Structure 1
């Protein structure tokens, strides 16, 4: 995280701690308030220096600020954790540790004073070395402009006259441009940096067809360092009209308009980053209803939406065949021949570029200077990332880094977070959003829509903005249209890793040895057991741990487990993806700062784990996988900050009665819990007023092939007893299993369910009454898997008034009658497996049958 992000986050975190943990901060409350005041001055300084940090002295000052902010956070968090531990002790334990507590109070007081002196010293150095605001402003623009010109030249170095894979793309855009519409129209080419947008635009601009159609053509390079006067002058020069740079922006705009008046023209505006560009120059382009066109290129979809009157053309990555063709043209300089023994390894080298033309051209340029031998190409294959990211080929990363540098501060941490995932990993969007929230990257605006926007809503907007800026790719979409999974290009991931390491934000390791780590967030992409030998320094600053790789098993006596418990007392995020954890009831008790926890456990240890989790009062997201557990502790239902409770427990042998469940106003997700009378009681009693997603398991107790005796307090229940009308925010419902008929004609009352239900998924049901579901007014998505509709489907007018998608997998439908006026909004019908007799004629055009 950049230093300004660290300081802003720390100010928010400490201010919130003063509210939430006032009783734990007793004795140092005044010191913390004083520290916040000092940090606010530092925050102002950082904001004034943003974008002007090429100076090495400035960089060093910023790094010092970041380090001291981290130190301040650790001191306060450690104090809160230690006070919490002390207050959980017995009276005898408190007496035994009373001297230690007094010393701790003295030590934290001294530490905060030391940090405040460090802040003062940093501020003094700022003045001492002449790096105040005035210094930043003088000469900053000239330096930025010079850097932009260097980068522009680098771009030209890697542009190709005849890049492969663009014939279809150029034909598609030209077809858009020349379609018979006399009004002035704007077309756009959108894609990530290095994808060939400028090359494609130049190919179109120079095409014979367009030269004949548009006798007046002009090319303007905009860039991130846009200056209106320079852009207008460059367009006028293309039109053979020279004007003095002494003229004002308005005068130049008027000259350009006069030059284009009454003429059919094509204007290319290359590399636009901001919508303000269009606001500045659109007045210079007259619309004489003669078929004139404007073509823009941008990395940002929002720009196309703002300027464009035509749908944007999203430039795809090259296919494997196209990538090899481009690579071969550059390496063999037009020759078609590639030695057979180099073909396979050459394809592997090209594959590392993941279809990005910029990377292919730069890499091919390096390979072309080397011997065309198997030995030399094998060496290159093992160091592709190094050749692209380091050595003398920084032009690749410089071009990609423009996208990162242009991000607002609120998005930079979100983007860098992609570094934690392994290469080519398909990332679940909801999981990513929950992590961003837990890390504190997402903040509710101080004014405006805080009552209607949740943290998750804001995080989703952030993800969509990263997609819009061509930094994140959508791998799959939800049936509702949102992002389901996403990924990031390998080179952008390398950029995330490089920036993260430079700012001590995240470290990535392939071996589970934590002794060399120097970061607060660590991600291990491992294939071994933990080698965990922490030192005194890194025990304090570990805040997030991610494990990806082979399954690990940690019992209470294992080395990994012991060191993990000692070293992560300040942890906020534990994403133990494939760790089978076995801890005593007190195992996680000390981790009171924990916001996010994802673990697996076996049935023998599940109750201990759940008891331990019950102490985590700051926990926001829990993902827990287990086959069965004896009971869920009552204290779990008292975690007031819990937002997402995702459990995969097939059986709970004793669902204890919850007579005093707290009102969990923050809970949005409750999945996938067994359906018992106690579950229904909690839902009926309005304990979860803001629940948005609910998943229920309806299975009897089976274990090892034997049906277990149900306890008096742990009995399965009929879904018809469940009332959801008060769950006004419930949008998604998933029911798995069919002990009792959940939607039967006699037992289902649509008023018992939330009228806001938009999506229902049912799995493993015996029979289904479609009429009951058809009465839900806002149901847009219905997914059915493995079941039967009984006598069949008979949909009459007015049923399923909002349904847009119906998916049936392995569903038996005896007959289907569809009357006119039923399902009026249906646009997608997916049928896979099972059998559907006599599919109605009016639905056949919508159906995708597999």
Structure 2
């Protein structure tokens, strides 16, 4: 209210931004109709823009409201010029409700004279990019979710119309308010339902328990549908896929982006790789208020995201409606393959989690996969099979997964990290030649068992024990982008080391991340890292001095941004000239390390420094305070002097910049 009637004389644009159903229009309408606003402005106009706007129609509507009377507009009239002349010299308030495109504002803005009268334009939008583009002097106003208490106040207001809530309904009412998840639209819709019901606690509790289906009535369906219709096809696929994760599940973004890539929802363009394209898709969905940010990394990237329950329920309905993915549950006899071109998802609904220990709900008892006809259909499908289970459910607890895996010949994403697979798992994987993403937990692993997976992009292998394996056959999998085998040491046999000779041209050009318990570097030659020329993340354990510097060539590591380096045993750190083996690439942004000697000049763009088991390291050089990008120092198992040096760096940065920009985490 103050921003509308404040002392600023220049034209200002105030944007109200938030996801569908948060009450943007309601707030704008309340402000617009306020007596103090009515009396403050000479001209007041309210216009709904919407997605399919027409510039001429909008201008005519604004003009008619501005002159406050009906008039006939001739076909050759310059409405934009007429409107501008009417507004000149007047203090006006123009409300543009539900604006979707930056272009819509660009079409209208020249019609609004700036002047010195304290004129205002107020817009509502669910698109963050639009809100930021329209920003003049005032920051966009981002609507937040209601608290449980605020939801309860709104629910009472809508249901009881000023009367007090009977005491026997308070507990049930609070339960309903909690399940509305802070979205005013849901509160209002549910209020409309329970206001017509008898005032019995049992009836209200039924509503609370069945809130997801009740909340997604016709009105809220239309609200989400309008955002969905505005998406490009690949974005529709991305958000529908997210609907398959459990309710309130905080989705790990790094995994989600790899799932999208594996399903080929996102294809790389000429100017960006697949990872960048996938992250841009997620940012676009967040920008459109369909996906919520749960946590962010220190560099501002999204770490975990979440769907609001209303958006998630919409996605589940849309999945079935568009036959994008067929949902099934184990041991249901009334299921058939509805489309040969749809994905099949063995989806465990939240309500079923409590029953999942029963044998009839095991994954080896999927009726749809037991018939020969269905199995044949799956073999002819052009799409893939996708299996998503509830994280609280262990699908292999009482069943053998291998007979099921053999049937999933078109599966692209196999994500089973929680329970160790039987030793015969390589036999089942032989037929899964379409795999793009493989994450498993096994006791034994060898790259030769999966070297036939030529389309594999992501490999994550977990184990309860430390093992060694030869990566000799990894060179066959040219499409590998991310490899994480943290419990396995990669050791090349003597017969396989010819690959590192200068005459060899073999390389994994697509590999972005490589994490291993130990990579044997003692026989490393200067051409070693040229085989992994585009690495961005590397975890490396050094157990002996290499025969040449660890990073011998600056050119080959221009993309490396994250390094996790373990030096063990530490005895050789005191050897003469050992520092020359550890000259780090200058483009590192994230460094996790136990020991090193270096100045800030080695890390000009470093954002995160993590030192573990730092009992042998007394301090971080004070010059690290001069790294302008440094945002986080994380210490674990450290000497007191190391912690003191980190806090001194933080203090110096605050004194030099006046900003509390460095976070220091001290973990004992």
CA distance in 2, matches of 1:517, 1:347: 41
Asked if 1:755 corresponds to 2:586, the answer is: yes
- The structure-2 alpha-carbon separation of the partners of 1:512 and 1:759, relative to structure 1 and needing over 3 Å to count, comes to farther
Q: Any residues of structure 2 matched to 1:289-328 within 5 Å, and which?
A: 289-309=116-136, 310-328=138-156
Aligned residue in 2 for 1:404: 228
Aligned residue in 1 for 2:277: 458
> 683, 686, 706: which is aligned to 2:530?
686
- The structure-2 alpha-carbon separation of the partners of 1:749 and 1:463, relative to structure 1 and needing over 3 Å to count, comes to farther
Aligned residue in 2 for 1:211: 38
CA distance in 2, matches of 1:743, 1:182: 67
CA RMSD of aligned residues (A): 3.2
- The structure-2 alpha-carbon separation of the partners of 1:570 and 1:473, relative to structure 1 and needing over 3 Å to count, comes to same
CA distance in 1, matches of 2:14, 2:523: 55
Give yes or no for contact 1:750–1:775 (8 Å, CA) kept in 2: no
Q: Any residues of structure 2 matched to 1:579-590 within 5 Å, and which?
A: 579-582=419-422, 583-590=424-431
Asked if 1:363 corresponds to 2:190, the answer is: yes
Asked if 1:430 corresponds to 2:254, the answer is: yes
CA distance in 2, matches of 1:544, 1:632: 30
1:695-745, Cα deviation, whole Å (9 max, x unpaired): 2346xxxxxxxxxxxxxxxx6556994116322110111235653389889
CA distance in 2, matches of 1:514, 1:461: 42
1:424-471, Cα deviation, whole Å (9 max, x unpaired): 1111111111111111111233xxxx2x41111111111111100001
Q: Any residues of structure 2 matched to 1:259-274 within 5 Å, and which?
A: 259-274=86-101
CA distance in 2, matches of 1:680, 1:485: 38
Residue 681 of structure 1 and its aligned partner are, at CA, apart by 5.8
Q: Any residues of structure 2 matched to 1:277-676 within 5 Å, and which?
A: 277-309=104-136, 310-340=138-168, 342-389=169-216, 393-445=217-269, 450=270, 452-509=271-328, 511=330, 516=335, 518=337, 519-525=342-348, 527-528=356-357, 529-530=362-363, 531-533=365-367, 534=369, 535-539=371-375, 540=378, 541=381, 542-550=384-392, 552=394, 554=396, 559-565=400-406, 567-582=407-422, 583-601=424-442, 603=443, 606-607=444-445, 610-627=447-464, 628-649=466-487, 651-652=488-489, 656=493, 658-661=496-499, 662-676=506-520
Give yes or no for contact 1:720–1:747 (8 Å, CA) kept in 2: no
Give yes or no for contact 2:485–2:517 (8 Å, CA) kept in 1: yes
CA distance in 2, matches of 1:773, 1:789: 20
CA distance in 2, matches of 1:245, 1:743: 87
1:340-375, Cα deviation, whole Å (9 max, x unpaired): 3x3222222222221111111011110110011123
CA distance in 2, matches of 1:284, 1:261: 10
Give yes or no for contact 1:548–1:578 (8 Å, CA) kept in 2: no
> 829, 833, 848: which is aligned to 2:662?
829
Residue 774 of structure 1 and its aligned partner are, at CA, apart by 4.9
CA distance in 2, matches of 1:823, 1:434: 42
Residue 224 of structure 1 and its aligned partner are, at CA, apart by 1.6
SS in 2 for 1:686: helix
Residue 645 of structure 1 and its aligned partner are, at CA, apart by 0.7
Moved more, 815-824 or 210-219: 815-824
Give yes or no for contact 2:561–2:589 (8 Å, CA) kept in 1: yes
Residue 783 of structure 1 and its aligned partner are, at CA, apart by 2.8
Give yes or no for contact 1:718–1:741 (8 Å, CA) kept in 2: no
Give aligned pairs, total: 626
CA distance in 2, matches of 1:802, 1:371: 61
Gaps of 5+ in 1: 1-173, 699-714, 836-850
Aligned residue in 2 for 1:701: none
Q: Any residues of structure 2 matched to 1:137-152 within 5 Å, and which?
A: none
Residue 405 of structure 1 and its aligned partner are, at CA, apart by 0.6
- The structure-2 alpha-carbon separation of the partners of 1:464 and 1:430, relative to structure 1 and needing over 3 Å to count, comes to same
- The structure-2 alpha-carbon separation of the partners of 1:587 and 1:510, relative to structure 1 and needing over 3 Å to count, comes to closer
Aligned residue in 2 for 1:731: 561
SS in 1 for 2:578: coil
CA distance in 2, matches of 1:182, 1:200: 24
Aligned residue in 2 for 1:134: none
Give yes or no for contact 1:684–1:722 (8 Å, CA) kept in 2: no
Q: Any residues of structure 2 matched to 1:105-254 within 5 Å, and which?
A: 174-242=1-69, 244=71, 246-248=73-75, 251-254=78-81
Q: Any residues of structure 2 matched to 1:49-64 within 5 Å, and which?
A: none
Give yes or no for contact 2:600–2:624 (8 Å, CA) kept in 1: no
| TM-score when normalising by structure 1 | 0.68
Moved more, 211-220 or 576-585: 576-585
CA distance in 1, matches of 2:456, 2:110: 54
Q: Any residues of structure 2 matched to 1:803-822 within 5 Å, and which?
A: 803-809=630-636, 811-814=638-641, 815-816=644-645
CA distance in 2, matches of 1:249, 1:274: 27
CA distance in 2, matches of 1:398, 1:260: 35
CA distance in 2, matches of 1:804, 1:831: 9
Give yes or no for contact 1:618–1:639 (8 Å, CA) kept in 2: yes
Moved more, 541-550 or 304-313: 541-550
Give yes or no for contact 1:801–1:822 (8 Å, CA) kept in 2: no
- The structure-2 alpha-carbon separation of the partners of 1:301 and 1:796, relative to structure 1 and needing over 3 Å to count, comes to closer
CA distance in 2, matches of 1:259, 1:616: 69
| TM-score when normalising by structure 2 | 0.85
SS in 1 for 2:497: coil
Residue 512 of structure 1 and its aligned partner are, at CA, apart by 6.8
Residue 177 of structure 1 and its aligned partner are, at CA, apart by 3.3
Residue 409 of structure 1 and its aligned partner are, at CA, apart by 1.9
